[in-house]
Structure 1
Amino acid sequence: MTGESLKTKAVKSVMWSSIERFSVQGIQFILSIVIARLVTPSEYGLIAMLSIFLAIAQTFIDSGFSNALIQKQGRTETDNSTVFYFNIAVSIIVYGMLYGAAPFIADFYKEPLLTTVTRWIGLNIIISAFSIVQRAILIIKLDFKTQAKASLIAVILSGGVGIAFAYYGYGVWALVIQAIASNFINTFLLWIFAKWTPAFRYSWQSFRTLFAFGSKLLLSGLLHTIYVNLYNLVIGRKFSAMDLGYYNRASTFAQFPSINITSILTRAIYPIQCQLQDDDERLNATFIQYIRISSFVIFPLMTGLCVLSEPFIRLFLSDKWLESVPLLQILCIAYVWFPIMAINNNILNVKGRSDYFLKAEIVKKMVAVGILIATIPWGLKILCWGLVLYSFCDMAVIIHYAKKVISTSYIKQIKNIFPILLLSVIMGTGMYLTISLVRQPFLQLLLGGVVGILLYCVIAITMKFEEFNLLYKYIRHKSDANDKTL
């Protein structure tokens, strides 16, 4: 594959990955706002209590095999079918365990309703297992357009169902029904669009080969999943359902721009970087470029959300959610660094060093749990500041391991992102001064957003940031292409 064709595929992959990701997350984001206005923070916290159990179950279903299929060169139909049947078997076992554990989960939180809710929403574990291989095949082909179609149709149809149930007062069940409908429709469409069905074959040799790589990702994923959702578990048990509702909303909003945009980029570039895994020079160049581009987009978004947190919450969720504002501001500082961590993680998988990936996760999560334990007694705000501290520890550890497989260093990465960080801080200062002049939430969002965008773009153009030119040329190219098709 030539450099130009690789670049073209990368651009198309990012574009369709963006459409697929934001079609799902965007509508779900809107739905969460609608439902949050219809229910109380404590009712919303009830659903958040299940997040750790569902996330752990879903991690077992994937078992790292999806990334193993993508990473493996010369994969066969036997590999695909082996992964498919293994995932189905594991999903049934895991759901059975979750079904049996439902009463104990309800007792743990002292919420009887969770028994029934857990057993219904847990069906998503089995449903999603049927589409893991189809999705991996489409990613290998860089066919995010097909995934976008399936996801968009699924989220629109299920979204309509969810809104209807929420409107008629079904509360938490609106979320449960919407989630099951979305997974079912998406899985059904992927079977149709991907045009792949499993063969009647299973190979233990294939399983062992894929498991050698995927098992380490499974353990790493479990550690990360448990840690990320541990906060919901601890807050739900230590504090109140209302406190968990505030934290959950703040965490969801803080993660939305950072994690979604980073996931779009890493998911699109992972199969491309896998093709370059033996070309160190090109791999090193793309690695730094991806870090700069992701930072150039995410840093200002997170800074803007931090500054505009209060008018955002007032306008979209109402004053009953104001307690989540300081939590959202702190968490924006924590998640602004997510792209640096994710892209360094990604490079370890590209190089086939899932052993380094696992070692890094073990070290990071040992530090993370220590920080969590130390901050619990001091309340929610200090607990969130602990996440900020952890983000710096995470970057330090993962860059240490990334240096072993690629020509990078702490200094090199800091030098590349520091000008972008400084530009974002200047932009945020301008936004803060602007919104201090008005009191109405809508005007604060409007004026703050406009000033932030203009200030960021003007300084980027004046200082000749390469990333601005790349994004501008891409947008201009797409605009010209669309004009020609009219």
Structure 2
Amino acid sequence: MRESLSHHALRGVMWSAVERFSVQGIQFVLSIVIARLVLPSEYGLIAMLGIFLAIAQTFVDSGFSNALIQKKDRTEVDYSTVFYFNIGISILVYGILYMAAPAIGQFYEESLLETICRWLGLSLILNSFTLVQRTRLIIASDFKTLAKASLISVILSGALGVYSAWLGYGVWALVAQSLSNSLLNMILLWCLVAWVPKKVFSLYSFRRLFSFGSKLLVGALLHTIYLNLYTLVIGRFFNSTQVGYFNRSQTFAVFPSSNLTEIVNRAMYPALCDRQGDEEALIQTFFKYLRATTFLVFPLMIGLAVLSEPLIEVLLTDKWSSSAPLLSILCVAYMWYPVMVFNWQLLNVKGRSDLSLRAEILKKIAAFLILFLSIAWGMEVVCWGLLLYSISDMIIIFFFVRKIYSFNLTQEFVTLFPILMCALLMGCGVYVASSFIAGSLLKLIFGILVGILSYLIFGILFKLEEFDLVKQIIKRT
């Protein structure tokens, strides 16, 4: 557990972080700026379309990206086959979305959604032109190139979105930001990645990749539906303002956990695939990545839960204050995201997408039951239901992981326990210290400083080995 990660892996994680946060981080900041210029109801309109656009994008990917990464003997024919399939399926899916737009508007009783849906749907076609380029860069761990393309496109599109919101275009500022980001990213990746598809489409290659990717597709569809089902159901039973509150709180809660997890996961998955034949080395690498991620995620999520009220008031103004209680609950629910994702990925590393699909089906059955039982009790109960789902998710996925790996759930919990305790003690310290401070801005600043200092102290007392890993990253990169 104490041997260092390779220099190549460390650089992969670093540039994966740069690329991820250049997209999500800057977009997150820009979304805060735009949120101050538009109404919660206008944000709610975009959120209502989230499930339809996310499902459509999942079909466009169809699990081929992971299939290409997992396949060791991949060829140019494989890449070209996936490229042409993705473009074809994106056009088909957009056509279906275009025709379904009036029905979507009627479902939510918001006529404007018909036009918004048809414009936002164009990003599906634009994104399909970049899937292979992204996959090739991930396989090569060339996150630096991904970072360049993402950073430029997100800054330019974000500037357009902010300017449009400032001019008073409301929801259309969000549409312009999304579409311009997809367009710029496509142009930049084609300029930066020296790859041109061959004029070939192989049915043999397609069948081999689809046999693995199709199971991931079904699992991804279930997960995508689940992630967006809350907005769909809330949008059907509540108004767009309440959808806006839930969407903003969920966005804040998901941001640190999801992005840090995906940063590490993109570097971890190829590394674990390379160790398929050596289970001991694979498990050791898995635990290192898991600890390194939770070392950052746990304190961030607990700190965010404690400081949710001053954070919302400072960043989004009082008009968004109703989302603060929801944010606190969701932070506790989403702090377990890396544990869920990394354990699920262990099944795919061994090529057992059949088990990952079975696990996903069981998890989503539990998720749907929890949602429909909690929706009648109000928004806060719905958020508590998300925490209950996180616990059930971990139990279900580990049941399947145990079928093909030798370690048990107790080992994993013992490994993460010191990190969890440090984060909880830090949260208690922040709560007590900030309660004596008046004013949202001062409370937020003081709480952050106390959180950082106390986590460092508790980390040293508990002798967390991740402090050594942080030193490695700083020195080597």
TM-score, length-scaled by structure 1: 0.96
> Is 2:176 aligned against 1:177?
yes
Matching residue's letter, 1:65: F
Kindly state the Cα deviation for residue 344 of structure 1 after the two structures are TM-superposed. Answer: 0.4
Kindly state the Cα deviation for residue 156 of structure 1 after the two structures are TM-superposed. Answer: 1.1
Matching residue's letter, 1:432: Y
> Is 2:426 aligned against 1:427?
yes
Determine the C-alpha separation between the residues in 1 that align with 2:15 and 2:469: 18
Name the structure 2 match of 1:208. 207
Kindly state the Cα deviation for residue 71 of structure 1 after the two structures are TM-superposed. Answer: 0.5
1:23-54 Cα shifts (integer Å, max 9, x gaps): 11111111111111112211211110000000
Kindly state the Cα deviation for residue 257 of structure 1 after the two structures are TM-superposed. Answer: 0.3
Name the structure 2 match of 1:484. none
Kindly state the Cα deviation for residue 187 of structure 1 after the two structures are TM-superposed. Answer: 1.0
Name the structure 2 match of 1:359. 358
Determine the C-alpha separation between the residues in 2 that align with 1:289 and 1:363: 28
> Is 2:375 aligned against 1:368?
no
Structure 2 contact 38–165 (Cα < 8 Å) conserved? no
Name the structure 1 match of 2:54. 55
Determine the C-alpha separation between the residues in 2 that align with 1:462 and 1:332: 25
1:207-229 Cα shifts (integer Å, max 9, x gaps): 00000000000000000000110
Name the structure 2 match of 1:396. 395
- Percentage identity across paired residues of the two chains: 56
Determine the C-alpha separation between the residues in 1 that align with 2:246 and 2:223: 19
Name the structure 1 match of 2:344. 345
Matching residue's letter, 2:391: F
Name the structure 2 match of 1:45. 44
> Is 2:80 aligned against 1:84?
no
- Tell me the secondary structure at the aligned position of residue 403 of structure 1: helix
Matching residue's letter, 1:324: S
Name the structure 1 match of 2:309. 310
Determine the C-alpha separation between the residues in 1 that align with 2:145 and 2:30: 24
Matching residue's letter, 2:266: R
Name the structure 2 match of 1:113. 112
Structure 2 contact 249–324 (Cα < 8 Å) conserved? yes
> Is 2:410 aligned against 1:414?
no
Aligned length: 475
1:188-237 Cα shifts (integer Å, max 9, x gaps): 11111111111000100000000000000000000000011000000000
Determine the C-alpha separation between the residues in 1 that align with 2:278 and 2:144: 28
Determine the C-alpha separation between the residues in 2 that align with 1:476 and 1:76: 37
Residue ranges of structure 1 left out of the alignment (5+ in a row): 479-486
Instruction: List structure 1 segments (4+ residues) > 4 angstroms apart after TM superposition.
Output: none
Name the structure 2 match of 1:481. none
1:270-309 Cα shifts (integer Å, max 9, x gaps): 1111111111111010111111111111000001100110
Determine the C-alpha separation between the residues in 1 that align with 2:91 and 2:370: 35
- Tell me the secondary structure at the aligned position of residue 404 of structure 2: coil
Name the structure 1 match of 2:31. 32
> Is 2:471 aligned against 1:472?
yes
Determine the C-alpha separation between the residues in 2 that align with 1:477 and 1:21: 20
1:147-197 Cα shifts (integer Å, max 9, x gaps): 000000111111111111111011111111111111111111111111111
Deviation larger for 170-179 or 91-100: 170-179
Structure 2 contact 418–462 (Cα < 8 Å) conserved? no
- Tell me the secondary structure at the aligned position of residue 227 of structure 1: helix
Structure 2 contact 62–213 (Cα < 8 Å) conserved? yes
- Tell me the secondary structure at the aligned position of residue 407 of structure 1: coil
Matching residue's letter, 1:399: F
Determine the C-alpha separation between the residues in 2 that align with 1:477 and 1:179: 36
Matching residue's letter, 2:20: R
Determine the C-alpha separation between the residues in 2 that align with 1:407 and 1:327: 38
Name the structure 2 match of 1:245. 244
Structure 2 contact 70–273 (Cα < 8 Å) conserved? yes
Determine the C-alpha separation between the residues in 1 that align with 2:410 and 2:312: 37
Determine the C-alpha separation between the residues in 1 that align with 2:25 and 2:419: 26
Name the structure 1 match of 2:7. 8
Determine the C-alpha separation between the residues in 2 that align with 1:70 and 1:469: 30
Determine the C-alpha separation between the residues in 1 that align with 2:186 and 2:401: 35
Determine the C-alpha separation between the residues in 1 that align with 2:86 and 2:270: 22
Kindly state the Cα deviation for residue 477 of structure 1 after the two structures are TM-superposed. Answer: 4.1
Determine the C-alpha separation between the residues in 2 that align with 1:161 and 1:322: 27
- Tell me the secondary structure at the aligned position of residue 102 of structure 1: helix
Matching residue's letter, 1:298: V
Kindly state the Cα deviation for residue 462 of structure 1 after the two structures are TM-superposed. Answer: 2.4
Aligned runs of 1:116-155 on 2, under 5 Å?
116-155=115-154
Aligned runs of 1:140-289 on 2, under 5 Å?
140-289=139-288
1:48-87 Cα shifts (integer Å, max 9, x gaps): 0000000000000000001000100110010000000111
Name the structure 2 match of 1:99. 98
Matching residue's letter, 2:176: I
Name the structure 1 match of 2:332. 333
Kindly state the Cα deviation for residue 474 of structure 1 after the two structures are TM-superposed. Answer: 2.2
Name the structure 1 match of 2:16. 17
Name the structure 1 match of 2:294. 295
Kindly state the Cα deviation for residue 407 of structure 1 after the two structures are TM-superposed. Answer: 2.4
Structure 2 contact 418–464 (Cα < 8 Å) conserved? no
Structure 2 contact 422–462 (Cα < 8 Å) conserved? no
Deviation larger for 39-48 or 90-99: 39-48
Structure 2 contact 7–476 (Cα < 8 Å) conserved? no
Residue ranges of structure 2 left out of the alignment (5+ in a row): none
Determine the C-alpha separation between the residues in 1 that align with 2:103 and 2:320: 30
- Tell me the secondary structure at the aligned position of residue 20 of structure 1: helix
Matching residue's letter, 1:392: I
Determine the C-alpha separation between the residues in 2 that align with 1:355 and 1:35: 42
Matching residue's letter, 1:287: F
Matching residue's letter, 1:315: V
1:334-382 Cα shifts (integer Å, max 9, x gaps): 0000010011011111111100110000000011111011001100000
Determine the C-alpha separation between the residues in 1 that align with 2:227 and 2:461: 40
Determine the C-alpha separation between the residues in 2 that align with 1:390 and 1:123: 33
Determine the C-alpha separation between the residues in 1 that align with 2:131 and 2:177: 20
- Tell me the secondary structure at the aligned position of residue 404 of structure 1: helix
Aligned runs of 1:316-327 on 2, under 5 Å?
316-327=315-326
Determine the C-alpha separation between the residues in 1 that align with 2:13 and 2:377: 42
- Tell me the secondary structure at the aligned position of residue 201 of structure 2: coil
Matching residue's letter, 1:404: K
Determine the C-alpha separation between the residues in 2 that align with 1:288 and 1:317: 37
Name the structure 2 match of 1:482. none
Deviation larger for 423-432 or 6-15: 6-15
Kindly state the Cα deviation for residue 472 of structure 1 after the two structures are TM-superposed. Answer: 2.6
1:240-277 Cα shifts (integer Å, max 9, x gaps): 11111100000000000000000000011111111111
Kindly state the Cα deviation for residue 404 of structure 1 after the two structures are TM-superposed. Answer: 1.9
